[in-house]
Structure 1
Amino acid sequence: MSTLTLAARDSNTMIRRQLKRLVRYPSMTIQLIITPVILLILFVYVFGGALGNGLGGGSGGGRGAYVNYVVPGILLMAAATAATGTAVMVATDMTEGIIARFRTMRISRASVLTGHVVGSVIQQLLGMAVLVGIALAIGFRPNATALEWLAAVALLTLFVVAITWLSVALGLNSSSPEAASNAPMPLILLPFLGSGFVPTDSMPTALRWFAEYQPFTPIMETVRGLLLGTPIGNSATIATAWCAGIAVVSYLWAKNTFGKA
């Protein structure tokens, strides 16, 4: 078999390893799904009435307006939360000796990282699907066409790939699984410090500047525009550039670190 065929076979084996790990140890997967769901319900039913009334722009106000507004931010937060689990699994593999054993075997080195990335992407997309289903049940009412849904899913998938490679790099550079669990924490805060929960024009000047120029905001604005018909402007281009840039830099960082380990 060719080198490419062997690499594909080994990658498939590593992907199945990751998926079996998720099935055998479901507690982390459940936690990563439940946490964004709890936040969604909390913000919609506890804060949604007041925050929804403050949205303006002809949205009608109230919880109905706010659940439509907040879902894109919760989706990105779900991916950022899942990055913690990916970083922990990578750090666990690096510190428990399994990587050393893999190196004694005739397998593609790249397949180890591929397994982590693809397994995590599948986990995150399934978690997002569950989150959207619950959002629909509590009042989320997108008006997107099939093409707009496809574009939103494509952008979210690109974001998930980027954030997963970043979490893999963070896990590889962590000294222990405990340290890896803290490394992606700033990512979870970025939707709060962007347009995820309130419009940026309601923020103080310095915070508004940060919120408008950090990577999560154009992604949330693009998803919100595609699903709900709000103006997108140049957010789609900026969002795609951020996702592609994070993915490429994180991949190179992870590849370089793994090669030296």
Structure 2
Amino acid sequence: MMEANAPIVEIMESVQGEGPYVGCRQIFIRFAGCNLNCSYCDTIGSKEADLQLCRIEEPWGSQRFQYCSNPITVSEIITKLHKRSQNIHSLSLTGGEPLLSANFIIELAQAWGSNRPPFYLETNGTLVTAMEKVHHCIDYVSMDIKLPTLTGHCCWEEHGQFLECIHNKKGYVKVVVGQETTMEEISIASSLIQQKAPTFPLVLQPISDSLGKTNLSAQQLYQYQSWALQEHDDVRIVPQIHRLLSFL
């Protein structure tokens, strides 16, 4: 059987910059390609499924990179990473959309074995069948709910099914909010989480620029949180900390 491979944007070490696990040290594998096209996407190369080159940090934490050809095989990933799985919180599978490479993730977990770090999946929460396939090898889930006014995508049905699939995992749901965000959208999103995965915190993340600045006022964010708290018990406002601290 041919070894699984996947197009990878970059492999690096940094800290988690979003949600309740902010500040945790992680190794990041950023997958290329996405099934959505959100206007606020801030990840260069993440939408390019045919990306030619992957950059790999060398040495770890240096923000200096070497380049290799895509796609990358499971064995190549393990050779790069298995000695660097100590003293990290988890291995972040991010993107793009990692679940487009579900078979690669499964083979990576199998090949790594019992000493692998926890797998931390960052996903747009729409590929339910793929999530069902990888469910057994994912330890944490950072799931997005995409608001129609900001993304142009209406995914409520997929998001509900996805939440049902992951409700017994460790994780949280992130909702990116902006000036256009409506009370109806926040109410639907928070109600969906309360019904399908009530133990998951809801993180409201304001859209920000490359320096971490947002045009949403504290009063607006407080109002969004108030709307969400009418439907869900645990709602937090967490900006993108890695941008404020100039982490990649």
Which structure has the greater CA radius of gyration? 1
Q: Which has the higher contact order (CA 8 A, sep 6+)?
A: 1
Q: Of Structure 1 and Structure 2, which has the larger fraction of its residues in helix? A: 1
Structure ranking higher in strand proportion: 2
Task: Compute the TM-score of the two structures, normalised by the length of structure 1.
Answer: 0.27
